[in-house]
Chain A
Amino acid sequence: MYKIVSAIFLAENIKKIEIEAPRIAKKRKAGQFVMIRVGESGERVPLTIAGSDPEKGTITIIVQGMGKTTRELNSREAGETINDIVGPLGTPSHVENFGTAVSIGGGVGTAIAYPTAAALKEAGNYVITINGARSKELVILENEMKAVSDEAYITTDDGSCGFHGFVTQKLQELIDSGRKIDYVLAIGPIPMMKAVAEVTRPYGIRTVVSLNPIMVDGTGMCGGCRVTVGGETKFACVDGPEFDAHLVDYKNLSDRNKLYLPEEQQSSEGFTHRCRLAGKA
């Protein structure tokens, strides 16, 4: 059992949860994740470690309620526990001083990009962050991102905050303005990552994305998390989750992520129903 130390909503449906896990807190590096099983009959789901406090022995995750598991997790409060956490898993982000590095986050992808953006800053890069959301209410980690950026931009689809448009448009603007960009990290919905890859491809800018295939063990045992990169099969939980954005087969990834749509819907509806009965939602 792992104890939740604090749990607060950052935006509607996006919760920041701090959990006691001293070993993981001590070891984790930017870009790594944990597998979490909330309850006894729960699924194992991967969540990026957004931060840690080795002294306090805690890690932080930032969770977007998508389906049953993430919504159940987001219904937990400080003082409650979760059954299992294992990590840190995955290969840490490759961080060096590239020169000018752009970190792009879409939606909850901002939270996943945050630790790596911070590490890029620490490694001496000139860090530009572009964080996209559908609208103002969904913008997260604005101050945290500013603190690790030399330039920080926010984009919203509806123009309610920052730049009116997509993260890719902002990136294109930066490139068009003649800025020399050496490295791009893009994390968010699959179409966004694919679009960023297409923007940087003609300029040959080194671009990395963090992939989110369906995982089971997360330790390199089952082969379920396989993704196609450069025509080769890779296992995201051990070889990734970060890969060369220009080599990823995005279509295969988004197809494979639809494997359990009917079942996910069924679980999600069951959860909603139980919450209603409990008068919770």
Chain B
Amino acid sequence: MNEKTITTKERLAIPRQVMPAQDPEVRIHNFNEVHLGYSPEAAILEAQRCIQCKDPVCIKGCPVNIKIDEFIKLIAHGDFLGAARKIKEDNVLPAICGRVCPQEDQCEKTCVLTKKYTPVAIGNLERFAADYERETGNVELPRVKPPTGKKVAVIGSGPAGLSCANDLIQLGHAVTVFEALHELGGVLMYGIPEFRLPKEIVRTELEGLKKLGVQFVTNSVVGRSLTVDELFEEEGFDAVFIGVGAGLPWFMGITGENLLGVYSANEFLTRVNLMKSYDFPKHDTPVFNCKGKSVAVFGGGNTAMDAVRTAKRLGAEHAYIVYRRSMAEMPAREEEIHHAEKEGIEFLLLMNPVEFIGNDEQWLTGVKLLRMELGEPDDSGRRKPVPIPGSEFVLPIDMAIVSIGNGSNPLIKQTTPEIEVSRRDTIVVDINTMATSKENVYAGGDIVTGGATVILAMGAGRTAAKAIHEKLMGTDRGFNEW
């Protein structure tokens, strides 16, 4: 079809292009990426489904307002590189966001086709354009402005820190990123598994930043190895951005939570992803041997889905999701739930754990579950689960993974008390600038919002970069004079 002459009716008649994926039977035995990406033909067809609205409401659904209609049009015309560069005007990590953003709650939710048809696969197209640019070796390094002589420290190398560093280095500031772990990338590296986000993609992004001149210092825990005040006074930084992410995992506070075989999702995923214990004994760090075992993951978010699918890949015979509410309330990305079902994950919905049970050697042997039913909507607007009295039963399991969220990282608060925090210990900022209550200190990402998304963290990093630049160059309008 010639792009210029396709009628709206013809566009609407094209079915949403399904992205090919590894067969579930095969992929549960490997850690390779599940989705295989669009072919150029499929991408063009999918792009042709977009009716190029006068008022592209999809853009309003995107937290960083990518010019969606424009980049899709470029794909429809076969200008894949042009599309990638268009996206990058607003999103510095499109290969990552195309894979992990909850599009069904964002751009694809607001797309006009959603009501009557199926939405344009905006996420898949974003991913396609970014992969095309990278795989054909066409990623161009942006031009860096002449040095300003200003130095900015970025704490944490997750999406918030990386996007802030990316903007600041291009504006001509010297940027140093301090990371607590021995590896860079934050949750993109140690949380989200390879089968959803190949680490090679994250490494390519990091290489790009290094080429632009960003300095990375691993093994540096700000608050312990050095403090925010020392960054200013001893290391001569002019501004600091804090992007340290979420903190300690929450546990459920029920009996038996310290039995052998009970993990937090953070620990399980860190062992497998960061420490590569799937490759034990070639890598030294061990993890619970899931082979032939029954593993239950408690929670319904992305982290829970990642944990349960990882356990399956490590050979678990039964891999359960135990969730208090019903499928409709599950916060995980739709696609992940769908993939999990295909992979044979067993969903135990409307059930709440009340006790972990162990044997004489303190190894976990089961969990007592209580059945729930949905009552009135709660504060979050979701229907509140209420227990059904007398409905307890014991599910035999060998391993439990608790995935019910995280608290906030306390280190910065302890060592820099003048940075205001909320009752939940998240850092309080002016949302227009991401400025904290301490002069020249900015913050963004999960440490501000609590556990959220990659794209929100990235957006916050960019907002802060802009404000830091204006402040350092003396062009701000004083809205951060606290």
Binding site for B on A (CB under 8 A): 23-24, 27, 37, 41-44, 68-69, 83-89, 216-217, 219-224, 226, 228, 233, 235, 238, 252, 255-256, 258-260, 263-264, 266-267, 270
Contact = CB atoms under 8 A, between A and B. Distances in A.
A255 B361 contact: yes
Given A221-B270, A238-B410, A255 B260 contact: yes
Name, among B220, B283, B284, the residue most crowded by chain A CB atoms within 10 Å (CB to CB): B284
Contact of B248 (A44, A216, A221): A221
A126 to B, nearest CB: 32
Nearest to B280: A263
A42 B249 CA distance: 24
B225 A220 contact: no
Contacts of B182: 37, 44, 83-84, 86
Interface of B: 180-182, 218-221, 224-226, 247-249, 251, 257-258, 260, 263-264, 266-267, 270-271, 275-276, 280-286, 288-289, 361-362, 409-411
Closest 10 CB pairs of A and B: A263-B286, A222-B267, A223-B264, A43-B284, A86-B219, A255-B362, A84-B182, A224-B267, A223-B249, A41-B283
Given A255-B361, A256-B260, A222 B225 contact: no
A226 B248 CA distance: 11
Given A84-B182, A220-B411, A222-B267, A41 B284 contact: yes
B286 A264 contact: yes
Nearest to A67: B284
Given A84-B218, A86-B219, A266 B411 contact: no
A43 B289 CA distance: 17
The dominant DSSP class at the A interface is mixed
A68 B219 contact: no
Contacts of A217: 180-181, 270
A270 B283 CA distance: 12
Contacts of A43: 275, 284-285
Contact of A23 (B220, B249, B266): B220
Nearest to A72: B284
Contacts of B225: 23-24, 27, 86-88
Contacts, number: 109
A86 B180 contact: yes
A85 B181 CA distance: 10
Contact of B258 (A23, A27, A233, A264): A233
Contacts of A85: 219
Contact of A222 (B221, B257, B266, B289): B266
A84 B249 CA distance: 25
Contact of B275 (A44, A68, A219, A233): A44
Given A216-B267, A222-B264, A264-B286, 13 more contacts: A24-B225, A27-B226, A37-B182, A41-B284, A84-B219, A86-B225, A89-B224, A216-B275, A219-B221, A219-B411, A233-B258, A238-B248, A252-B362
B271 A216 contact: yes
A117 to B, nearest CB: 23
B479 to A, nearest CB: 34
A258 B180 contact: no
A223 B248 contact: yes
B247 A220 contact: yes
7 contacts: A68-B284, A83-B182, A216-B271, A216-B285, A224-B264, A224-B267, A260-B286
Nearest to A249: B258
Contacts of A83: 182
Given A219-B180, A238-B410, A224 B263 contact: yes
A224 B249 CA distance: 10
Given A24-B225, A87-B225, A223-B267, A41 B251 contact: no
A243 to B, nearest CB: 15
Contacts of B248: 220-221, 223, 235, 238
B247 A226 contact: no
Nearest to B248: A220
Contacts of B180: 86, 217, 219, 221
Nearest to B271: A216
Given A27-B226, A89-B224, A252-B362, A223 B251 contact: yes
A228 B284 contact: no
A155 to B, nearest CB: 31
Contact of A41 (B220, B260, B282): B282
